[in-house]
Chains A and B, each alone.
Chain A
């Protein structure tokens, strides 16, 4: 195991985070605050409590998830796409490191950043609504699992992308809609039965539901199913990366 290399990549990627601190932290915090002002205060005051939780509090886990998902993907995909774009990837490919170590360095850094961000957003939310976290440890577990899973997905997108447009396409066309339709802002029980069934094909539902349970012990699907689906998604991403590296897909000629 080339620990020095993993450390080098990790530090290098994190230093990019510090350098771009403004975009990476300030903008999600601002957008979260806007959500609270619009959904929490303006609209939420007219929405009744959902299973005993005020609407403002109800959307907190969903909002954190929304940021985790988009930020994890953005960070990880950019982290590996950029060296491909500038050509500095030559060094990574010629270094005595395994693909596993490359993933560890890049995904580790991207996930770290997301986790920090998630906690910052949570703290921001605390300024607007009373926060109650019934199962802090489980909450953190979901936070970490989601960050890692979607950083892996971002890494895959970064390797697949051969232009900046492709880098944007997946988050914009797939992840954002799935998050909005995944029960971030409502309980799926509020939907007509047909749409409830459709929604069950959306992986984000399971993430949000499990995460929300850790806060308020209310959930759309059972906790076990949430955990199971999250792990399944994690495994799928790892399998995809394993395949990419086994074939050298889009990295080596």
Chain B
């Protein structure tokens, strides 16, 4: 199946001379949820802005469902819904008007039933006649999502959609995103909450300093880098790891109260049984134990630091 978005050798140098994107190539698959991760200033928003037509690229090309974003911009843009990172709204407009305006702007005949559905899904229905300036930040965020969904896009960009949204609403929002995905909409999101990417995404891309440094299936990524650690809280402090335990390659925390054993969850044998046997043979007693899986966050941090 051909990809729905195809970014080829895209570069962007701003008028200030700053290069925000450096030869980025990326394919987004039809119907997936793609999470774009990267530290502040990595170029996430710039990349999205180029694809959506807000920023002109300096070099390279982008197609959306086969339509070039420059030559065939009408076809390309009408497929896209964008929820920007900044809360930019028409303060004096009512929720209903601003969402209806977006639908018209994207060339769709008015359809009150669809707008109603979108507003209800985002729990904005009872606010439909409110002026936007009377809404809370999280509600404004949802208004922006409603605007993006008003014209039934096939591709949805969410640039940090859950910044400033409370936990309960965040869950509700992810439910909306999952339903969109189930209806065939491709979703590209950026987030700083790595647990979100971990929970939602099918694939993950990491961008740093304007370059894509990794694109991987989330499951494969977790698998590949997924290590687990067993921490043993000792009864008595140790100065050094006893020589007979050397084969287990244990680490001793510097205060000497904890032994850390690292193992691969995907391995045939984890080696835990032998370790515990050897420990008791060495006369080392522990009062507690704990296992910890390396999260996407650890992976991310280790990638970006490289």
Bound-state CA distance A87–B90 (Å) is 9
> What residues on B are CB-neighbors of A16 within 8 Å?
92
Name the residue on A nearest B157 (C-beta): A94
Instruction: Give the bracket for the number of chain A residues in contact with chain B.
Output: 20 to 34
Q: CB distance B88 to A96 under 8 Å? A: no
Closest approach, in angstroms, between the C-beta of A200 and any C-beta of chain B?
Answer: 41
Q: CB distance B107 to A87 under 8 Å? A: no
Q: CB distance B101 to A12 under 8 Å? A: yes
B206 CB-CB contact with A under 8 Å = no
A131 CB-CB contact with B under 8 Å = no
A92 CB-CB contact with B under 8 Å = yes
Which residues 76-115 of B have a CB within 8 angstroms of A? 76-78, 80, 82, 84, 86, 88-93, 97, 100-109
Q: CB distance A86 to B91 under 8 Å? A: yes
Contact for B77 among A8, A86, A96, CB less than 8 A: A96
Which residues 50-97 of A have a CB within 8 angstroms of B? 86-88, 90-97
Are A15 and B104 also in contact (CB < 8 A) when A4-B109, A94-B82 are? Answer: no
Q: CB distance B15 to A253 under 8 Å? A: yes
> What residues on A are CB-neighbors of B77 within 8 Å?
94-96
**Candidate in B74, B101, B104 with the most chain A CB atoms within 10 angstroms:** B104
Q: CB distance B106 to A253 under 8 Å? A: no
Contact for B106 among A19, A86, A95, CB less than 8 A: A95
Q: CB distance A253 to B14 under 8 Å? A: yes
Q: CB distance B55 to A253 under 8 Å? A: yes
Bound-state CA distance A253–B19 (Å) is 12
Q: CB distance A8 to B104 under 8 Å? A: yes
Bound-state CA distance A91–B15 (Å) is 22
**Candidate in B15, B53, B102 with the most chain A CB atoms within 10 angstroms:** B53
B147 CB-CB contact with A under 8 Å = yes
Closest approach, in angstroms, between the C-beta of B226 and any C-beta of chain A?
Answer: 38
Bound-state CA distance A15–B93 (Å) is 9
A9 CB-CB contact with B under 8 Å = yes
Closest approach, in angstroms, between the C-beta of A179 and any C-beta of chain B?
Answer: 30
**Candidate in A86, A94, A253 with the most chain B CB atoms within 10 angstroms:** A94
> What residues on A are CB-neighbors of B303 within 8 Å?
none
> What residues on B are CB-neighbors of A7 within 8 Å?
104
B214 CB-CB contact with A under 8 Å = no
Q: CB distance A253 to B101 under 8 Å? A: no
> What residues on A are CB-neighbors of B49 within 8 Å?
253
Closest approach, in angstroms, between the C-beta of A216 and any C-beta of chain B?
Answer: 43
Contact for A97 among B55, B93, B105, CB less than 8 A: B105
Bound-state CA distance A9–B53 (Å) is 19
26 A/B residue pairs, CB under 8 Å, sorted by A? A2-B107, A4-B103, A4-B106, A5-B106, A8-B100, A8-B104, A8-B105, A9-B105, A11-B104, A15-B97, A86-B88, A90-B84, A92-B105, A93-B53, A94-B54, A94-B80, A95-B77, A96-B74, A96-B76, A96-B78, A96-B106, A97-B74, A248-B56, A252-B55, A253-B15, A253-B55
Known: A96-B78, A253-B49. 20 other contacts (CB 8 A): A2-B107, A5-B105, A8-B104, A11-B104, A15-B97, A16-B92, A86-B89, A87-B86, A88-B90, A90-B54, A91-B105, A92-B105, A93-B53, A95-B106, A95-B107, A96-B76, A97-B74, A97-B105, A97-B107, A253-B15
